[in-house]
Amino acid sequence: MLLVDDSPTFLEQARAWLSRESDIEVVGSAVSGDEAIALVKQLNPRVVLMDIAMPGMNGLEATRRLKLLAGPPLVMMVSLDGDPAHRTAAAAAGADGFLCKADFAAAVLSTLRALCRESNEPPAEPGAA
């Protein structure tokens, strides 16, 4: 999994939370959409957890570009705001799921696992992206 957010605090907390799970491996993190695209090409993660609002290329545009790649990753958008307009914009950009940051601790694991099941892919094995 690749984590993408312009907040170092969120990246650190998300990595710590997700790293406790044996079936999830965080392979890297990025602070911008441009960096996310470069790392996806390099690391080929199965899932990208993408912040919707970042300076420069935002998560929506980065998601659009990622979904044009051959064998694109699953993208779960995260946002501080669970506004329906953000959910609609994320879906229009090609995101496979959406999660409000306020619900992260309570919902991220079940949401990620459901996303992987729906895509007919199991969650990442240890040592996989």
Which tens digits make up the pLDDT trace of 33-67? 999 999 999 999 999 999 999 989 999 999 999 99
Task: Please check the confidence at residue 77 and state whether its pLDDT lies above 60.
Answer: yes
The overall average pLDDT reported for the chain is 89
Structure confidence at residue 125 as a pLDDT band (50, 70, 90): very low
CATH of the domain at 42: 3.40.50.2300
Two structure tokens written together for 83:
């506004």
- Whole-number Å distance between alpha carbons of 52 and 20: 25
- Whole-number Å distance between alpha carbons of 92 and 61: 10
Residue 123: predicted pLDDT:
45
- Whole-number Å distance between alpha carbons of 47 and 1: 5
Domain assignment of residue 32, given as a range: 15-118
Structure confidence at residue 109 as a pLDDT band (50, 70, 90): confident
How many structural domains compose the chain? 1
pTM over 0.85: yes
Q: Is 44 a member of any domain?
A: yes
Q: Is 53 a member of any domain?
A: yes
